[in-house]
Amino acid sequence: MKISGSIALVTGANRGLGKQFVTTLLERGATKVYATARRPELIDVPGVETLRLDVTDPDSVAAAAAAAQDVTLLINNAGIATGQNLITGDLSEIRREMDTHYFGTLAVIRAFAPRLAGGAILNVLSALSWFSYPGANAYAAAKSAEWSLTNGVRLELAAQDTLVTGLHLGAADTDMSARFDGPKISPEQVVTAALDGIEENRLEVLADDWSRRVKASLAGDPSAFYAPDPTA
């Protein structure tokens, strides 16, 4: 599909990658952009239609789907990072990660799928879909589940010609990654790669070298990937 002329809905559009998606969609000629967030009053991009959408609230999802019946491109970007490990972390926060990334994404897809025949869905995933890291294990588990969800709904929606694309990246230079000291890709680079991938009918977009490296490692012995850094 083409971005120009599309009618897009972006979840989590008040900041970070979501805000960049909204801005770039408008720049690339989207006819209409629904910018959604739990607090839509925080959305400050001119030229969009704002909607309240909490992906973990079924009533909120249903109301957004009823209000935006002309969507042709759904971008599931809403997410959280609670910094929880699986053994010692707060179980309610671990559940909140899964409710947001997995069940929330699924709820939005189920609500909008009937009107996306011939359209597209983009799920914002992570390189952490494929590996774990202390301090982010709950996030990694939720993103891994969302990756599997992406592959599953792609098969189920193939008959109605809906493109389902998974976007993976290491760290983008956004508020969510503010405490991360490693290399970061700009939000503009991430969003450009994602929208180009949709126009190229790609099932998966690896936005940076880190996501490409991690994906390639899956074919090897996991002990090699998780081996301690001898220079550390």
Write the pLDDT tens digit of every residue in 2-38.
Answer: 999 999 999 999 999 999 999 999 999 999 999 999 9
Q: What are phi and psi of 9, to 5 degrees?
A: -130, 130
Q: How would residue 203 be classed by pLDDT, with cut points 50, 70 and 90?
A: very high
- The C-alpha atoms of residue 72 and residue 6 are separated, in whole angstroms, by 6
Mean pLDDT of the chain: 94
CATH number of 7-225: 3.40.50.720
Contact 27, 40 (CB under 8 A): no
49-69 pLDDT tens trace: 999 999 999 999 999 999 999
Contact 115, 69 (CB under 8 A): yes
90-103 pLDDT tens trace: 999 999 999 999 99
DSSP for 205-228, written as a single string: EE-SHHHHHHHHHTTS-HHHHTSP
Instruction: Give me the mean pLDDT over the 212-228 stretch.
Output: 92
Domain boundaries, the chain: 7-225
Indicate if the pLDDT at residue 231 is higher than 60: no
Indicate if the pLDDT at residue 180 is higher than 70: no
Greater confidence (146 vs 178) lies with: 146
